[in-house]
Amino acid sequence: MRILAIESSCDETAAAVVENGQKLLSSVVATSAEMHAKTGGIIPEQAARQQLVSIVPVIDETLKKARLTKNDIDALAVTAGPGLIGSLLVGVEAAKTLVYLWNKPLIPVNHLVGHIYANWINSNNKQFQTLKFPALALVVSGGHTDLVLLKGHGNIKWLGGTRDDAAGEAFDKTARLLDLPYPGGPSISKEAEKYLVKHPKAKLKLFPRPMLDSQDYDWSFSGLKTAVLKYVQENKRFDVSNVAAELQEAIVDVLVEKASRAVAQINPKSFLLAGGVAANKRLRDKFEVDFFLKKFSTTFHVPPINLCTDNAAYIASAAFYNFKKVKWTDVDARPELTITGQI
């Protein structure tokens, strides 16, 4: 089954074709990051306007790269939410137009669930063969931090998440405090790497580890922003790379420690890391080391870096594994959708 998927939940405009939920035939992502860098962040109206310009060329290029026509497509999928309402509408209305013209089924997809399914793509490798249910998944992105248990496709239970800011949001907002360029997450990571190369044995304990000892699966990152703000105000000659490394370490520590604690308590067969923040090298490395040292029987999985950030490939994969028949006319943008929300 070949699915053409469309993703436009934030500032990217993406389309992809995936076969049987695993084989990636083509993927195209149009970014407006350069435009948002000038304003220091995303302005929703500007993002949606750019997506209106990009959506048709992106879909055309995706089919061209896959060497397919509309007749080779079995179904379409689209991100229904969560996200920016204007951006979501661009993708949803484009998808609804195509299914009407092409007479194909339309599968609405939860963007957060989609992130998890990046772990299924291009799965002709040994890692995929060991991916089994029940699976514990940590989705870490700019707007969300959620820990969920998957007992099977379509069977998802929320275990915990952020009580305030998401991990990615903490990266982005702190980057602004440090006057680092947009997008903030990669900028923090780049600066942190500079410091770690020079100081590989540095003990990074400057900032607190919020909720590290709480006996739940929740996180809190708003206090970290306050801690960084206070530090830079009191230390005018601070080292940007050092502060970036300290912040990154604090966030990574609480994510890894609390997720690992959940693995030890629940003992799932697989653990899946997903979301834009999963592209962070320090986070990926620390999870791999932690799983090795603790000798978990649970297998650790993380998508390739290019599939962690927003793209339509994982939307197509999620659509395949969670296919439900719906009337295309009933598909709407759902900006406030939660990770367990029904579409």
- Is 143 annotated to bind ligand? yes
- Is 113 annotated to bind ligand? no
CA distance 39 to 36: 5
- Is 164 annotated to bind ligand? no
H or E element at residue 26: strand 23-30
- Is 235 annotated to bind ligand? no
Range list of H helices, the chain: 33-39, 44-66, 85-102, 111-116, 126-129, 167-177, 184-198, 222-234, 240-266, 281-294, 313-321
Q: 238: which 2 tokens?
A: 């601070």
| Residue closest to 13 by CA, chosen among 41, 48, 65 | 48
- Is 185 annotated to bind ligand? yes
- Is 341 annotated to bind ligand? no
215 Cβ neighbours under 8 A, 6+ residues apart: none
- Is 280 annotated to bind ligand? yes
Place of tokens 């070949």: 2
Give the count of beta carbons closer than 10 Å to the beta carbon of residue 159: 16
- Is 111 annotated to bind ligand? yes
- Is 161 annotated to bind ligand? no
How many helices (H) and strands (E) the chain has is answered by 11, 10
Q: 48: which 2 tokens?
A: 């949606």
Place of tokens 């089994």: 132
DSSP state, 2? E
Which residues are annotated as part of the binding site for Fe cation? 111, 115, 310
Which residues are annotated as part of the binding site? 111, 115, 139-143, 172, 185, 280, 310
Which residues are annotated as part of the binding site for substrate? 139-143, 172, 185, 280
